[in-house]
Amino acid sequence: MTKADIVNWIAQNKDIKASKRDISKVVNRIFEIIAEELIDGEDNHKIQISGFGTFIVKKRAPKIGRNPKTREEKLIPERFGISFKVGKKLHRKLNGE
């Protein structure tokens, strides 16, 4: 599902008197807020959406990588990644409980 699919679904399935352009602005802003909070948030770089799950920023340790063609080793510096932990309600629905 894409952002455009979300916008179309809201426009078609919800009784909202707003244009697709306005709905698109709201959807885009929601994703911008999530990204901003993950980058600069004060809550340990974590976003919890009740009933859905939690996005968490995790620090990845530096490691040695290897070019498979030349076998040259190179240090890959520490970096950040995002992980997602599914919420209990969504997990139960996925598993048919």
For the chain, what are the domain ranges? 1-40, 44-97
Q: Inform me whether the pLDDT recorded for 21 exceeds 90.
A: yes
Is residue 62 within 8 Å of residue 37, measured between CB atoms? no
Pairing of strands 73-76, 79-86: unpaired
Q: Inform me whether the pLDDT recorded for 42 exceeds 80.
A: no
Q: Inform me whether the pLDDT recorded for 81 exceeds 80.
A: yes
Q: Inform me whether the pLDDT recorded for 56 exceeds 70.
A: yes
**In the structure encoding, which two tokens stand for residue 72, read together?**
């040259």
Helix (H, G, I), strand (E, B) or coil at 44: coil
Q: Inform me whether the pLDDT recorded for 43 exceeds 70.
A: no
Q: How far is the C-alpha of 22 from the C-alpha of 88, rounded, in Å?
A: 32
Does the structural domain 44-97 have CATH classification 4.10.520.10?
Answer: yes
- What does R_g of the chain's alpha carbons equal in angstroms? 19
Give the predicted TM-score (pTM) of the model: 0.72
